[in-house]
Structure 1
Amino acid sequence: MDDERLLIRPMTLADCDRVAEIRVRGWQSAYQGLIPRSYLDAMSIERDAERHRARSAQGDGSVVDLVAQRDGEVVGWACHGPYRDGEARTADAELYALYVDPPRYGTGIGHALLREALWNRTALGHERMYLWVLKGNGRARRLYERAGFEADGTEEPFEADGVPVPEVRYVRTLNEA
């Protein structure tokens, strides 16, 4: 990875289409065999981009969207903010999403985005960061474990086209960032 050419910056409205493309293609690539094909095939870049635009317009600043840009092209996206415990927010932080353009997996982009999210939440005084990851997503789980996250034993499924898909919660103490 060439860190000098990788820029981590706040996401803008102009990035929403590319971020949606990365997210949808990321789901379709990383979650093959873990989520029903019908669910993945029904995902829409256009609907996802509109969701990003609407969320950005309604945001209160507590949720941070970051993009990784290399040679002028957005190649990754991360989103983090306060930990959501049901509908309530807690004093802890949560990494809501981390996606890299599938042809660029393994190039350090995900690590750079994660490092920036950890730094940001540490600077804001959060003590812990949580995240949820699909139980069968070995690539992502290895990334998080290399970054100091540990599964805390909490598992919860979400439903995709009537099929329960198990997720595992990870946690990391932030004063170690």
Structure 2
Amino acid sequence: MTSTVRPGVPADAEAVETVRITSWKTAYRGILASDLLDGLTVTEERVRWWTEAIGTGEVSVRVAETSGEVHGFCSYGASRDADIPGAEIYAIYLLPARFSTGMGGRLMAEALDDLRDRGEREVGLWVLEDNARARRFYERCGFEPTGRRNLWRDEVPEVHYRLALTKVSPAGAR
């Protein structure tokens, strides 16, 4: 089946949140507490947040879909860290059945192209330190660790990665 990547719209909010929750339950198993993951559900509050964030442009989103069904997304925008310039990839998640299919690379490439078109020169992201799969993916896309560290929710170590945006997409991103 062929998938397409397109800009997200407010009507994608519930599908985006469903992908996020489903992905977390698999990707973060063994990294985050099982009771936290097992308790995750799609809520009206989060769907409303996505609807507003996408609708107002507060967050840019690219979605990957197959036969009209959203199977993954990438969200991005201005850096949320005052001391880190440029743009930031906020999240990139796929349904577990789409892991390692190339869909994530296509989403990342589209997001990076959009950021380049907006004149951004660099982009960063935060990733849970123990998320080896995601770290390998980001490194294949050309991101490099910066040495910055943080604690997500004051308890889980995360590390920062950075990528200089050039005119050409990184080799691993497509």
Fold-level match, TM-score > 0.5? yes
1:164 aligns to 2:158 (yes or no) = no
Question: Measured at CA, do residues 62 and 124 of structure 1 come closer, stay the same or move farther in structure 2, by a change above 3 Å?
Answer: farther
Question: Measured at CA, do residues 80 and 151 of structure 1 come closer, stay the same or move farther in structure 2, by a change above 3 Å?
Answer: same
Aligned position for 2:70: 74
Q: How does 1:48-67 map to 2 (within 5 A)?
A: 48-57=46-55, 59=56, 61=57, 63-67=59-63
Q: Which one of 122, 127, 137 corresponds to residue 128 of structure 1?
A: 122
Give the TM-score of the pair, scaled to structure 1.
0.87
Question: Measured at CA, do residues 44 and 65 of structure 1 come closer, stay the same or move farther in structure 2, by a change above 3 Å?
Answer: same
C-alpha contact 1:82 1:89 (8 A) present in aligned 2? no
Aligned position for 1:92: 86
Deviation at 1:13, TM superposition (A): 2.3
In structure 1, the residue corresponding to 2:73 is in which secondary structure? strand
Amino acid paired to 1:23: R
C-alpha contact 2:53 2:59 (8 A) present in aligned 1? no
Note the aligned Cα RMSD (angstroms): 1.8
1:44 aligns to 2:41 (yes or no) = yes
Deviation at 1:89, TM superposition (A): 8.4
C-alpha contact 1:79 1:97 (8 A) present in aligned 2? yes
The CA deviation string for residues 101-157 of structure 1, in whole angstroms up to 9 with x for no partner, is 111111011100000011111111111100011111111111110010001100101
Aligned position for 1:138: 132
Unaligned runs of 5+ in 2: 170-174
Question: Measured at CA, do residues 8 and 89 of structure 1 come closer, stay the same or move farther in structure 2, by a change above 3 Å?
Answer: farther
Residue-pair matches, total = 167
Aligned position for 2:26: 29
Deviation at 1:30, TM superposition (A): 0.4
C-alpha contact 2:10 2:52 (8 A) present in aligned 1? no
